[in-house]
Amino acid sequence: MDGDIEPDLEIRWLDECEVQVERDENNELWLICDGQRMKIGRLVRLLPLTDKSHYISVLDTDGREIGIIRDLQNIEPASRAILWEELERIYMMPKIKRVRRIRHEKASGGMVWEVETDIGAMELHIPNTDNIYKARYPRIFIIDEDGRRYEIPNCDALDSRSRRLLARYF
Amino acid sequence: MSLIGRLISFLRPYAWQAILGLTLAVTLTWLSLVPPMLMRILIDDAIMKHNRVLLLWLTIALLGVYLASTLLSMVRNYLMAWLGQRVLYDLRTRLYEHVANLDMSFFEARRSGQIMSRITGDVTALEQFIVHNVPSILIDLITLVGIAIVLFRTNVHLALIALLPAPLLAILTVYYRELAIVVYRRLWNVIAEMHSFLIETLSGIKVIQCFNQEEREVKRFRGRCERIVRSNLDAARLSTLFFPTMGFISTFGLMLVWWIGGNQVLDGQITIGVLTMFTMYLRQFYVPVQNLTYLNDVWQRTAAAAERVFEILDTKPEIEQPSQPIKLGELKGEVVFDRVSFSYNGNGKQDDGALALRDISLKVRPGETIGIVGRSGAGKTTLTALVARFYDPKEGRILIDGHDLRQLDLKALREKMGVVLQEPFLFHGTIYENIAYGRPNATMEEIIKAAKAANAHQFILNFPDAYDTYVGERGTKLSGGERQRISIARAILRDPKILILDEATSSVDSESEYAIQKALERLLKGRTTFAIAHRLSTLRNADRLIVLDSGRVVEMGTHEELMQRDGIYKRLVQIQAMLSNSLLNDNGNGKGDGDLDSSNESNAHNREGNDGSNGNASRA
C-alpha cells in the first residue's frame, strides 16, 4: 500500500514527535512539534462518534492539515488536557436521559421531542426520522434541524415511558 | 423430493423442537376430547340423578382439563413462534445467500421488486405452511379420527347422518381449487409489479420531478393499486362464496343430528347427556373438516410461493467456480483476449447479428493502461465485464497471466480487481465503512491513506462527523464528485492489480474531475487498467487506445498514432473539439478540451462544519 501513495500524501503522525500544545492569552491554541510553533486553526476528530480519543486531525489557520494525533494518550498530560478540553467544547453532544413527550408537527411533518439531557431540559426540533441514526443501536444519535447532535448512549436502558415513546422510531 | 418433503426438510435442524411441538399438539387434541365425555356423565349421572358429590368432582375435573389445556397451549404457542422465526430466518438467509451469488444474467432477466417479493412475502407464506399448517393438518386428522371413533361407537345411525355432507364438501373443494390457482397467481403478479414500480420510481424520483412527471407516475401507481384491489376482490369474492357455503353445509349436518337425535331422546332411545356429548363432538368434528377445506386454499398459496422460491434456489449460476480452480499467487496483470466473441442472448454462434463482441484479440501487458473508445453500444462495457468474469465468452478465451479465466478461483480473481463506475454505488453507512467495504479489516491508517490518495480526505474533514458521516441511501448525502472520490478510495484500499474505470469522471464537474483525475493517476500506477471514457481528453495518457465499433476492434494505437489515421477515433476527437469550440463561442466561456458534459454537482449535504466547528460548537 505504502508504495502506491506519493510521499506528500503520507500521513504526518504528530504523536511520533515531541508534540506540545499551548493556549495563549487570546485563548488561541498553538502546536509545537519538532521545534516548529504553529497556530492551530481547527481540531477535527476523524471518528467523533466511534472513537473520541484517537485520530485527531490538527489543521492550520488556512485549513491545511498539519498532522494527525493517533492517540491522545501519547501526548504529554498538560497538552492532552488542553486538547481534550477543546475537543469536548467543539464536539459537545448532550446525552438524552429521558424523553418526556413527542409532538408531531402537521405543517412541517417534523416532530418535537421534549427531553431531559445531562445539561438540562431541552426541546429538539427534528425534521424527520432520517435524522435519527440507529446504525449503532442501542446507541442512538439524533440531529436536530440546526445540525446539533444529541446522543442516547443506550436506548434500552431508558425508563419505560421513554422507551414506549421511542418504540415507533427504533 | 416432493414439494412438501422439500418444505418440511427446513425443520430438520430443529427436529427435537418440532417433535416436542407436535407432541404437545397431540396431547392438547386428546385433552379437547375429554370435556364432552365428562359433560355426558355430568348431565346423565350427576344432574339427572341429583348426585352433588359427583357434580363437584366432575366440575373440578373439567376445570383441571381446561387449565391443563391453557398451560400447554401457552408452551406450544411460544414453541411454534420460536420454530417459525428460526425457519423464516433460515429460509430468508439461504435465499439471499443464493441470490447474492447468482450472476448478472439472473438479475437482467428479473425485476428487483419480484426478487424482493420472493425474499419477503413468499418466504413468510412458506414458514406459515411449514410451522403452522403442517402440524395443524396432523392435529385435524387426529381429531377427525378420534371423534369419528367415539361417534360411531356411541350411535352408528346418528354418526352416518352427521357425515352426509362430506361428499358435497369434497366436490366443492376440488372446484374451488381450480379457480383459486388462477386468482392467487394473478394477485401475486400484480403485487410484485407494484414492488418493482416502487423501487424504480423511488430511485428515479429526481428524474420524475425534473421532468414534472409526478402526476403521470401517481396515475401509473393508481393503475397498479387498482389492479391489486381488483385481484384481491376477485380472491375475496371466491373466498366469500366458498367458505360460508362450506360452513352452511357443515351446519346442515349438525341440524339433522339435532332433529333425529332429539327424536331419539324423546323416544327414550338415548339419554340427553349422550345427545349433548354427540353435538359437542360434532362441533369439534366440523372445525377440522372446515380447516382441511381451508387447507386447500393455504396449499395453493404455498405451492405458488414454493414454486417461486425454489425457482431461485434451483437456479445455478452460469458463472461457476471451476471444480479444481487454479490458485493465483502474486498477479502480474497480463490480460489476453484470444478471439473472443460474446452475446447476451444465448449462444452467439447462430446469430452473428446478436453478438456484442466479435472476434476480439488483444494482449495487454502488466501495468498497461488501455483506453477503450467507441460509440454507445459498441461493446466497451461488455469488454470490461468479461475481464471481471461477470459473463463468459461464447467463443474464444480470456487469459490472465497465461491462465484461462474460467479455470481461476473466482473469488481470488475478483479480490485482485477494482472497479470505479460512472455512478459509484455507496451503501447506507459511514464514509469509513464505505471506504473499508472491500477490506473490512483495514486499519484506520490505511483508510486515511486511501482517502488522501483519492483526494477525499480534505472534504471528509469538512463534514461534522468526518469519517463517521453517514452517506445516506446510495450516498445521496454526498455530491457526485465526493461519491466518486470515496469509490476511488475504496478501490485504492483494495490494492487491485487489474482496474476497470467505466466513465469514472463523466458525471462530475470540472473541478471534481481534476481532483478525480489526479486521484486516478495515483491509482493507475503499477496496475493493468481498462478505462472507458466518452470524454476522449481523459484518455490521452493511456498507453494504448482501442476503438470498438459494433463489437469489433477497428483501431488500436496511441493517441498520436490514431490521430494520424483517418479513422473513427480522429473523427470522434474532431467532433468533440468542434462541439467544445461551439460551446465556447456560444457562451464566451466553457470547459473546452472535449468536455461535453455539464455536471450537477449538488450541495446534497449540510456542511455546517465548514466554519471549522462541529454543529454544536456555535451553541456551546
Q: What are B472-530's pLDDT values in tens digits?
A: 777 777 888 888 889 889 988 988 889 888 887 766 666 667 777 777 777 777 889 99
Q: What is the pLDDT of residue A120?
A: 92
Read off the pLDDT band of B74 (50, 70, 90): very high
**Mean pLDDT rounded to a whole number for chain B:** 82
Q: What is the pLDDT of residue B311?
A: 86
- Does the pLDDT at position A5 exceed 60? no
Chain A interface includes B359 (CB < 8 A): no
Chain B interface includes A74 (CB < 8 A): no
Q: What is the pLDDT of residue B457?
A: 92
Cβ contacts of B460 on chain A, cutoff 8 Å: 46
Cβ count within 10 A of residue A23: 15
What the block records as the C-alpha cell of A118 is 445531562
Distances (CA, A) of B562 to B369, B532, B559, B596: 16, 17, 5, 21
- Does the pLDDT at position B295 exceed 80? no
Q: Render pLDDT for B98-137 as a digit per residue (tens, 0 to 9).
A: 888 888 878 877 777 778 878 888 888 888 888 888 888 8
Cβ contacts of B521 on chain A, cutoff 8 Å: none
Q: What is the pLDDT of residue B207?
A: 77
Read off the pLDDT band of A26 (50, 70, 90): confident
- Does the pLDDT at position B317 exceed 50? yes
Q: Render pLDDT for B399-409 as a digit per residue (tens, 0 to 9).
A: 999 899 889 88
A114-141 mean pLDDT: 88
What the block records as the C-alpha cell of B412 is 481470488
Cβ count within 10 A of residue B386: 22
Which residue has 473539439 as its cell numbers? B577
Higher-confidence residue of A134 and B515: namely A134
Chain A interface includes B112 (CB < 8 A): no
* Coil, helix or strand at residue B530: strand
- Does the pLDDT at position B615 exceed 50? no
Give A 117-146 residues with CB within 8 A of chain B. Answer: 130, 133, 135, 143, 146
Q: What is the pLDDT of residue B588?
A: 52
Q: What is the pLDDT of residue B614?
A: 42
What the block records as the C-alpha cell of A127 is 425534521
Alpha-carbon dihedral B472, B477, B478, B484, rounded to 10 degrees = 30
Q: Render pLDDT for B411-459 as a digit per residue (tens, 0 to 9).
A: 888 888 888 887 788 888 899 999 999 888 999 999 999 998 888 999 9
Three-state secondary structure of B365-384: CCCCEEEEEECCCCCHHHHH
Check A55 against B444: CB less than 8 A apart.
Answer: yes
Helical packing angle, B272-313 and B52-100, nearest 10° = 10
* Coil, helix or strand at residue B602: coil
Judged by average pLDDT, the poorest of B154-168, B317-331, B345-359 is: B345-359
Size of interface A-B (CB pairs under 8 A): 103
Distances (CA, A) of B99 to B91, B92, B309, B315, B399: 12, 10, 11, 9, 28
Question: Taking CA A121 as the corner, what is the angle to CA A117 and CA A125, rounded to the nearest 5 degrees?
Answer: 90
Check B449 against A1: CB less than 8 A apart.
Answer: yes
Check B466 against A1: CB less than 8 A apart.
Answer: no
Check A49 against B468: CB less than 8 A apart.
Answer: yes
Cβ contacts of A70 on chain B, cutoff 8 Å: 445
- Does the pLDDT at position B325 exceed 80? yes
Check B432 against A92: CB less than 8 A apart.
Answer: no
Cβ contacts of A92 on chain B, cutoff 8 Å: 614, 616-617, 619-620
Q: What is the pLDDT of residue B180?
A: 80
Judged by average pLDDT, the poorest of A79-83, B328-332, B585-589 is: B585-589
Q: What is the pLDDT of residue B586?
A: 60
Residue B467 DSSP code: G
Cβ contacts of A46 on chain B, cutoff 8 Å: 444, 448, 460-461, 466-467
Q: Report the complex ipTM.
A: 0.84
Residue of B467, B473, B493, B605 for testing the chain A interface, max A β-carbons within 10 Å:
B467
Chain A interface includes B491 (CB < 8 A): no
pTM of the model: 0.71
Chain A interface includes B524 (CB < 8 A): no
Nearest to B128 by CA among B7, B308, B6: B7
Return all residues near B246 (Cβ < 8 A) that are at least 6 apart: B169, B172, B173, B290, B293
* Coil, helix or strand at residue B479: coil
Check A147 against B495: CB less than 8 A apart.
Answer: no
